[in-house]
Homo-oligomer: A and B are copies of this chain.
Amino acid sequence: MAKTKKSETQVIGKIKESARDVHRTVLRGDKPKMSMPVRSLSNVEYRTKPGHFILKDAVKERTLTVNTVRTFAQTLKVMSLSKELVSGDDIATKREAYYISKNWGEAAFKEQPESDTVIEDLEAMFGLIREQLRFVPEEKGGEVAGRLVVVDRDLQGRKLEIDCTKFGSGSYSIPIDVEHLVFRSKAKFILAIETAGMFQRLLKYGYWDTANCILISMGGVPTRACRRFVRCLSDQLKIPVYAFVDGDPYGYFNIYRTLKVGSGNAAHLNEFFCVPKAHFLGVTPQDVDLYELPTHPLKEVDIKRAKDALKNGPFVKHHKQWQKAITYMLKAGVRVEQQAFAKHGLDFVVKNYLPQKLKKVASFLP
């Protein structure tokens, strides 16, 4: 909990500092301004050392003028709302933030994209994620089962231990906001799974018990909350994260790459959301032959996505192994789903595929 307190003080400190700055400038009779990094793709770069996309140095300034007065006021109002939320241990979804502004008179936002933009400006300006400013996403996503105890608080603020081995055929659903969670686990690894169907399969066969691991269902492209949850797990527990997704460009790039390095159009967030310790368990293009899996032909969009990644994707360009894998897939012309192992029996994935793979983690794709 100490950690959370510190970060709350930090957030309020940053907001106050910035507000004081504006205040002082106004008192001096000058025009106040706020500066924040430019968030367009032209100002983004893939850095191999931290292992994610980062913002470069271009900065935009918002100076108070007749033209900017409304946005300027709105930015200050959102900062003030954020300070209230942090102090009151409350949260607001982005949509709620928009509706709250409807009581701000002339500073009311006309449409939600306007308030979303201001929130993103503040994220970049403060170098914080909006969850730390207490603006949380609308969408949920991510279920957990296995050897993990999540430490949360109950309504009275008392410590609450949630044991993810005790959900039966159900699971623990990751909250929209995970910043305050603390974890305890003796698991050996985290398995991040693409489909709810495969998650339920592994759960049904008690795979977390036999393999001593934590199962996470991403349910497609992982949401912010899910990515942040996995990142915090990885940081706190210091155990590896293995991704188990469909063997197609969507699984490789939209799901796995997003989990590992983040995405280009949210570069100011990646340092909080990427999971640099993630490695790729499968399904690899080579697994198709090795396990004689039933496949489907690559679709147009698959081929385009793969070729784009080979040609322009900094992540793939940086990793020879991925170039080889993608080239192999394009040559074979097929994609494979993670549930295809069912051809060999429903328990094949648990009794054969996963144990065999986990014997050679060193050869996992990066």
Q: Give the B-binding residues of A (Cβ under 8 A).
A: 90-93, 95-97, 99-100, 102-103, 136, 138-140, 143, 150, 152-155, 160, 162, 166-177, 180-181, 195-197, 199-201, 203-204, 206, 209, 217, 219, 294, 337, 339-346
Contacts and interface: CB of A to CB of B under 8 A. Distances in A.
A209 B166 CA distance: 23
A342 B219 contact: no
A152 B169 contact: yes
State the copy count for this chain: 2
A209 B99 contact: no
B209 A155 contact: yes
B152 A168 contact: yes
Contact of A160 (B166, B204, B344): B166
Contacts of A341: 99
Contact of A143 (B102, B173, B195): B173
B99 A196 contact: no
A147 B23 CA distance: 49
Contacts of A203: 175
A213 to B, nearest CB: 14
Nearest to A209: B155
Contacts of A176: 169, 196-197, 200
Contacts of A199: 140
B173 A168 contact: no
A99 B170 contact: no
Contact of A340 (B99, B150, B340): B99
A195 B96 CA distance: 12
Contacts of A138: 195-197
A197 B95 contact: yes
A93 B173 contact: no
Contact of A96 (B90, B93, B201): B201
Nearest to A196: B140
A140 B217 contact: yes
30 contacts: A91-B204, A92-B342, A92-B346, A95-B197, A95-B339, A95-B342, A96-B346, A99-B339, A99-B342, A100-B343, A100-B346, A102-B294, A138-B196, A140-B196, A140-B219, A143-B173, A150-B168, A150-B170, A152-B167, A153-B168, A153-B169, A154-B166, A155-B206, A160-B167, A162-B170, A170-B172, A171-B173, A172-B173, A175-B203, A177-B200
